Amino acid sequence: KAGVTQTPRYLIKTRGQQVTLSCSPISGHRSVSWYQQTPGQGLQFLFEYFSETQRNKGNFPGRFSGRQFSNSRSEMNVSTLELGDSALYLCASSPAGLRETQYFGPGTRLLVL
Amino acid sequence: AQSVTQLGSHVSVSEGALVLLRCNYSSSVPPYLFWYVQYPNQGLQLLLKYTTGATLVKGINGFEAEFKKSETSFHLTKPSAHMSDAAEYFCAVSNAGGTSYGKLTFGQGTILTVHP
Protein backbone atom coordinates (compact mmCIF):
# COMPACT_ATOMS: atom_id res chain seq x y z
CA LYS A 1 0.00 0.00 0.00
CA ALA A 2 1.16 3.50 -0.68
CA GLY A 3 1.92 5.56 2.39
CA VAL A 4 0.56 8.90 3.47
CA THR A 5 1.38 11.62 0.98
CA GLN A 6 1.49 15.36 1.59
CA THR A 7 1.72 18.17 -0.89
CA PRO A 8 3.49 20.44 -1.27
CA ARG A 9 6.61 19.42 0.60
CA TYR A 10 7.92 22.96 0.95
CA LEU A 11 6.19 26.29 0.90
CA ILE A 12 7.24 29.89 1.38
CA LYS A 13 4.61 32.51 2.12
CA THR A 14 4.54 36.05 3.45
CA ARG A 15 2.69 37.35 6.47
CA GLY A 16 -0.99 37.92 5.89
CA GLN A 17 -1.30 35.37 3.11
CA GLN A 18 -3.22 32.16 3.39
CA VAL A 19 -2.08 28.62 2.62
CA THR A 20 -3.69 25.26 1.89
CA LEU A 21 -1.93 21.98 2.56
CA SER A 22 -3.08 18.61 1.27
CA CYS A 23 -2.90 15.12 2.71
CA SER A 24 -3.82 11.79 1.09
CA PRO A 25 -4.20 8.98 3.63
CA ILE A 26 -3.36 5.33 3.24
CA SER A 27 -6.03 3.58 1.20
CA GLY A 28 -8.85 2.42 3.46
CA HIS A 29 -7.98 4.80 6.29
CA ARG A 30 -10.83 7.12 7.15
CA SER A 31 -9.26 9.13 9.96
CA VAL A 32 -6.82 11.94 9.24
CA SER A 33 -5.08 13.90 11.99
CA TRP A 34 -2.97 17.03 11.60
CA TYR A 35 -0.06 18.13 13.76
CA GLN A 36 2.18 21.18 13.89
CA GLN A 37 5.84 20.63 14.75
CA THR A 38 8.05 23.52 15.85
CA PRO A 39 11.36 23.58 17.74
CA GLY A 40 9.82 25.50 20.61
CA GLN A 41 6.45 23.81 21.06
CA GLY A 42 7.21 20.35 19.71
CA LEU A 43 4.45 18.27 18.17
CA GLN A 44 1.00 19.67 18.77
CA PHE A 45 -2.34 18.24 17.68
CA LEU A 46 -4.37 20.49 15.39
CA PHE A 47 -7.49 18.48 14.53
CA GLU A 48 -8.85 15.15 13.37
CA TYR A 49 -11.34 14.34 10.64
CA PHE A 50 -13.34 11.18 10.12
CA SER A 51 -15.93 10.66 7.40
CA GLU A 52 -15.81 14.34 6.46
CA THR A 53 -16.52 15.44 10.03
CA GLN A 54 -14.18 17.14 12.46
CA ARG A 55 -14.34 15.06 15.61
CA ASN A 56 -11.56 16.56 17.63
CA LYS A 57 -9.71 19.84 17.76
CA GLY A 58 -6.59 21.06 19.49
CA ASN A 59 -5.92 24.42 21.04
CA PHE A 60 -5.23 26.53 17.96
CA PRO A 61 -6.83 29.79 16.80
CA GLY A 62 -9.63 29.81 14.28
CA ARG A 63 -7.19 30.78 11.54
CA PHE A 64 -6.40 27.09 11.37
CA SER A 65 -9.11 25.08 9.68
CA GLY A 66 -9.48 21.90 7.76
CA ARG A 67 -11.79 19.68 5.84
CA GLN A 68 -12.05 16.16 4.59
CA PHE A 69 -13.44 14.91 1.34
CA SER A 70 -15.49 11.81 0.61
CA ASN A 71 -12.36 9.95 -0.51
CA SER A 72 -10.78 10.70 2.92
CA ARG A 73 -8.26 13.15 1.49
CA SER A 74 -7.88 16.11 3.77
CA GLU A 75 -6.78 19.70 3.49
CA MET A 76 -5.83 22.19 6.13
CA ASN A 77 -5.92 25.92 5.67
CA VAL A 78 -4.17 28.66 7.55
CA SER A 79 -5.43 32.17 6.94
CA THR A 80 -3.70 35.45 7.72
CA LEU A 81 -0.32 33.83 8.19
CA GLU A 82 1.92 34.93 11.03
CA LEU A 83 5.66 34.44 11.41
CA GLY A 84 4.98 31.97 14.21
CA ASP A 85 3.11 29.70 11.82
CA SER A 86 6.43 28.62 10.31
CA ALA A 87 6.57 24.93 11.09
CA LEU A 88 6.52 21.41 9.77
CA TYR A 89 2.90 20.33 9.31
CA LEU A 90 2.39 16.61 9.56
CA CYS A 91 -0.66 14.61 8.76
CA ALA A 92 -1.29 11.07 9.90
CA SER A 93 -3.89 8.52 8.96
CA SER A 94 -5.42 5.56 10.75
CA PRO A 95 -8.35 3.29 10.04
CA ALA A 96 -10.80 4.96 12.44
CA GLY A 97 -8.96 7.27 14.82
CA LEU A 98 -9.70 4.99 17.74
CA ARG A 99 -6.26 4.62 19.29
CA GLU A 100 -4.88 2.61 16.40
CA THR A 101 -1.42 3.30 15.08
CA GLN A 102 -1.19 6.55 13.19
CA TYR A 103 0.91 6.54 10.03
CA PHE A 104 2.60 9.81 9.25
CA GLY A 105 3.35 11.53 6.00
CA PRO A 106 6.66 13.31 5.29
CA GLY A 107 5.21 16.69 6.19
CA THR A 108 4.94 20.09 4.58
CA ARG A 109 7.53 22.60 5.70
CA LEU A 110 6.02 26.08 5.75
CA LEU A 111 8.17 29.17 6.03
CA VAL A 112 6.43 32.47 6.65
CA LEU A 113 8.46 35.59 5.85
CA ALA B 1 -5.73 15.23 30.60
CA GLN B 2 -2.77 13.19 29.48
CA SER B 3 0.85 14.29 29.26
CA VAL B 4 4.21 12.83 28.37
CA THR B 5 7.62 13.72 29.74
CA GLN B 6 10.81 12.61 28.07
CA LEU B 7 13.79 12.92 30.37
CA GLY B 8 16.79 14.24 28.50
CA SER B 9 16.43 16.26 25.32
CA HIS B 10 19.80 14.93 24.12
CA VAL B 11 21.34 11.51 24.69
CA SER B 12 24.76 10.55 23.40
CA VAL B 13 26.09 6.99 23.25
CA SER B 14 28.95 5.15 21.62
CA GLU B 15 28.32 2.68 18.85
CA GLY B 16 27.64 -0.70 20.42
CA ALA B 17 26.56 0.76 23.75
CA LEU B 18 23.15 0.42 25.39
CA VAL B 19 20.53 2.94 24.36
CA LEU B 20 18.07 4.06 27.04
CA LEU B 21 15.52 6.78 26.31
CA ARG B 22 13.20 7.66 29.16
CA CYS B 23 9.49 8.38 28.96
CA ASN B 24 6.99 8.99 31.74
CA TYR B 25 3.32 9.56 31.14
CA SER B 26 0.32 10.88 32.96
CA SER B 27 -3.08 9.50 32.10
CA SER B 28 -6.41 9.20 33.88
CA VAL B 29 -7.30 6.03 31.97
CA PRO B 30 -5.25 3.02 30.85
CA PRO B 31 -3.06 4.48 28.14
CA TYR B 32 -1.96 3.28 24.79
CA LEU B 33 1.73 4.20 24.41
CA PHE B 34 3.86 4.66 21.33
CA TRP B 35 7.44 5.35 20.38
CA TYR B 36 8.11 7.06 17.06
CA VAL B 37 11.41 7.94 15.38
CA GLN B 38 12.01 10.91 13.11
CA TYR B 39 14.96 11.22 10.76
CA PRO B 40 15.91 14.65 9.39
CA ASN B 41 13.40 16.07 6.93
CA GLN B 42 11.09 13.10 7.31
CA GLY B 43 7.85 12.25 9.02
CA LEU B 44 7.46 9.99 12.04
CA GLN B 45 7.92 6.25 11.83
CA LEU B 46 6.43 3.90 14.40
CA LEU B 47 8.99 1.91 16.39
CA LEU B 48 6.62 0.09 18.73
CA LYS B 49 3.41 0.42 20.68
CA TYR B 50 1.80 -0.85 23.87
CA THR B 51 -1.94 -1.36 24.05
CA THR B 52 -2.79 -4.12 26.52
CA GLY B 53 -1.33 -7.46 27.56
CA ALA B 54 2.40 -8.17 27.63
CA THR B 55 4.24 -5.26 29.19
CA LEU B 56 7.48 -5.85 27.30
CA VAL B 57 6.99 -4.75 23.74
CA LYS B 58 9.40 -5.45 20.91
CA GLY B 59 9.63 -3.19 17.93
CA ILE B 60 11.58 -2.66 14.77
CA ASN B 61 15.36 -2.28 14.46
CA GLY B 62 16.02 -4.11 17.75
CA PHE B 63 14.21 -1.63 20.00
CA GLU B 64 11.99 -2.64 22.87
CA ALA B 65 10.11 -0.89 25.65
CA GLU B 66 8.60 -1.95 28.95
CA PHE B 67 5.33 -0.60 30.28
CA LYS B 68 5.52 -0.10 34.05
CA LYS B 69 2.20 1.04 35.40
CA SER B 70 3.48 1.56 38.96
CA GLU B 71 6.17 3.91 37.67
CA THR B 72 4.03 5.39 34.87
CA SER B 73 6.97 4.77 32.58
CA PHE B 74 7.56 3.44 29.09
CA HIS B 75 11.32 3.60 28.56
CA LEU B 76 12.82 2.66 25.20
CA THR B 77 15.94 0.50 25.04
CA LYS B 78 18.25 -1.10 22.52
CA PRO B 79 21.12 -3.35 23.63
CA SER B 80 23.64 -2.15 21.06
CA ALA B 81 23.51 1.22 19.30
CA HIS B 82 24.21 1.55 15.62
CA MET B 83 25.20 4.69 13.75
CA SER B 84 21.92 4.50 11.84
CA ASP B 85 19.99 4.91 15.12
CA ALA B 86 20.94 8.59 15.27
CA ALA B 87 17.62 10.43 15.05
CA GLU B 88 14.98 12.11 17.20
CA TYR B 89 12.69 9.87 19.22
CA PHE B 90 9.22 10.71 20.44
CA CYS B 91 7.11 9.03 23.07
CA ALA B 92 3.36 9.49 22.71
CA VAL B 93 0.18 8.59 24.55
CA SER B 94 -3.32 8.01 23.26
CA ASN B 95 -6.35 7.98 25.52
CA ALA B 96 -9.89 6.76 25.10
CA GLY B 97 -12.98 8.86 24.80
CA GLY B 98 -14.52 11.48 22.54
CA THR B 99 -11.95 14.15 23.27
CA SER B 100 -9.19 11.83 22.16
CA TYR B 101 -10.31 10.87 18.66
CA GLY B 102 -7.24 10.74 16.46
CA LYS B 103 -5.12 12.56 19.02
CA LEU B 104 -1.65 11.63 20.11
CA THR B 105 0.01 13.63 22.87
CA PHE B 106 3.75 13.71 22.36
CA GLY B 107 6.73 14.26 24.58
CA GLN B 108 9.25 16.92 23.65
CA GLY B 109 11.52 14.43 21.93
CA THR B 110 15.00 13.10 22.58
CA ILE B 111 17.79 13.53 20.06
CA LEU B 112 20.00 10.46 20.02
CA THR B 113 23.59 10.90 18.89
CA VAL B 114 25.74 7.83 18.24
CA HIS B 115 29.53 8.23 18.28
CA PRO B 116 31.84 5.85 16.42
Cα–Cα nearest to B48, from A101, A3, A29, A94: A101
Could you tell me what percent of chain A has a pLDDT over 90? 93
Taking the Cβ of residue A60 and every Cβ of chain B, the question of whether any pair is shorter than 8 Å is answered with no
d(CA B87, CA B1): 28
Tell me whether strands A64-68 and A10-13 are parallel, antiparallel or unpaired.
Answer: unpaired
CB contact under 8 A, B103 and A33: yes
CA distance A18 to chain B (A): 23
CA distance B70 to chain A (A): 22
C-alpha distance from residue B42 to each of A90, B11, B113 (Å): 10, 20, 17
Q: Is A113 exposed, middle or buried (0-12, 13-18, 19+ CB in 10 A)?
A: exposed
Check residue A86 and report its DSSP letter: -
d(CA A53, CA A67): 8
pLDDT of residue B29: 80
Q: B106 contacts in A (CB within 8 Å)?
A: 42-43
B80 φ, ψ to 5°?
-140, 115
Residues 26-85 of chain B whose Cβ lies under 8 A from any Cβ of chain A: 32, 34, 36, 41-46, 49, 51
How does pLDDT run across A55-69, given as a tens digit for each residue? 999 999 999 999 999
How does pLDDT run across A1-16, given as a tens digit for each residue? 789 999 999 999 999 9
Lowest model confidence (mean pLDDT) among A17-21, A62-66, B37-41 = B37-41
